[in-house]
Amino acid sequence: MHLKAKELAQILNGRVEGDPEIEVHSPSKIEEGGVGTISFLGNLKYESYLYTTTASIVLVNNDFVARSPVAATLIRVDDVYAAIALLLERFQPQAGSTSGVSPDARIHVQASVGAEVSIGSFTVVEADAQIGAHTRIYPQVYIGRGVKIGSHVTIYPGVRILDACEIGDHCIIHSNAVIGADGFGFAPQSDGSYKKIAQIGKVVLESHVEVGASTCIDRATMGATIIRSGVKLDNLIQVAHNVEIGAHTVIAAQAGIAGSTKIGASSMIGGQAGFAGHLVIAEGTQVQAQSGVASSITEPGQAWFGTPAIKWKEYIRSYGVFKRLPELDKLVAQLARAVRSTTDREDKG
């Protein structure tokens, strides 16, 4: 696909600075560039590359002020990240529009498959499963008994969606994710062993949810583990039984959420963050990477950091002291020696 700067500005509701006729055919990173490519400057840490990039067009925010001459044509927009997201959709290779069931797939006669559904080789769809229209299921997917999948869903190779789970419209589930494995429930016995507690609930993904590769969302012990509309989960996340994640929350890779915790809407969770079980987290909460949340958070819209997590500003102040501990330790030792020396002189006097 080839687009001119003036055409891109119209698509992105932007303003051209430079040659409106210059044409691009693909996106590029600003530090790599290339003639005929379009890049963007969203993070000012990369500003130096703006003055050396060979990209033909660069997207910048409306309020950006260049400190040196820029050879590339600029397109100024309200929000660079929103603009690049829209732009990448334009350049994304489109999957074929073919539909139909591969002869190597196994679809139970009691399963229901909607119009224009694509099902790849060696996929298994069990009895009473329902698959909505325009859904694309790649090879080697397992869909259990009674699973309900909405329309316009994309399920990549190796995904397992186990019995009775529900997937809403326009969801994307990446390779090797497991939806509906048993929750981690065991009852300790008098002899020191553990008896498995049957996990008879399900997982519900509402609409426009995206689940990353190798992420696991466990079924509820009873009731449902619920992922609300618009939630985005990165790769390698563990969501335990009976967890509820509020709408439009985003969670980065390797985070773990223990059973029955409820995370409020529009929260942002950093990578490798961990949550204890049975917590309630207020909406709009921001948890920094590698933090450990051990108690409920009731105040909405606050940032937290550390293990156990405390408010971000308090953590930064505390860390400033922590970095000085070796110096402070030496100072305390010097003061202790001075006090002992003074005491000894007074005793002798």
Q: pLDDT, tens digit, for every residue of 184-234?
A: 999 999 999 999 999 999 999 999 999 999 999 999 999 999 999 999 999
Residue 241 appears among annotated catalytic residues: yes
Percent of the chain at pLDDT > 90 equals 90
pLDDT at 65 exceeding the cut of 80: yes
Mean pLDDT computed over every residue of the chain: 95
pLDDT at 20 exceeding the cut of 60: yes
Specify the DSSP class assigned to residue 297. Answer: B
For CA atoms 21, 27, 32, 35, give the dihedral sign. negative
The length of the chain is 349
CATH code for 159-308?
Answer: 2.160.10.10
pLDDT band of 345, cuts 50, 70, 90: confident
* Start-end of CATH 3.40.1390.10 domains in the chain: 3-91
pLDDT band of 238, cuts 50, 70, 90: very high
Q: What angle do CA 184, 189, 191 make, to 5 degrees?
A: 130
**Helix axes 80-91 and 5-12, enclosed angle (nearest 10):** 120
Sheet holding 232-233, edge to edge: 100-101, 118-119, 136-137, 154-155, 172-173, 210-211, 232-233, 250-251, 268-269, 286-287, 303-305, 310-311
Buried b (16+ CB within 10 A) or exposed e, 142-155: bbbebbbbbbebbb
Mean pLDDT, residues 141-163: 98
Is-contact 300 282, C-beta < 8 A?
yes
Q: Which fold has domain 3-91?
A: 3.40.1390
| 311 Rama class: left (phi>0) / alpha (psi -120 to 50) / beta | beta
Q: Which residue has the tokens 């390797």?
A: 254
Cα separation, 141 vs 176, in Å, equals 9
Mean pLDDT, residues 97-114: 90
* Start-end of CATH 2.160.10.10 domains in the chain: 159-308
Output the pTM of the full model: 0.86
Is-contact 8 87, C-beta < 8 A?
yes
Give the closest residue to 41 by CA, choosing from 25, 26, 22, 28.
Answer: 28
Cα separation, 124 vs 225, in Å, equals 24
Mean pLDDT, residues 270-292: 98
Is-contact 168 150, C-beta < 8 A?
yes
Given 134, 170, 241, 248, the catalytic residue: 241
pLDDT at 23 exceeding the cut of 60: yes
Q: CB under 8 Å, gap of 24 or more: what pairs does 160-166 form?
A: 162/219, 163/126, 163/202, 164/202, 164/219, 165/202, 165/203, 165/204, 165/205, 165/219, 166/202, 166/203, 166/204, 166/205
For CA atoms 49, 51, 53, 59, give the dihedral sign. positive
pLDDT at 8 exceeding the cut of 90: yes
pLDDT band of 344, cuts 50, 70, 90: confident
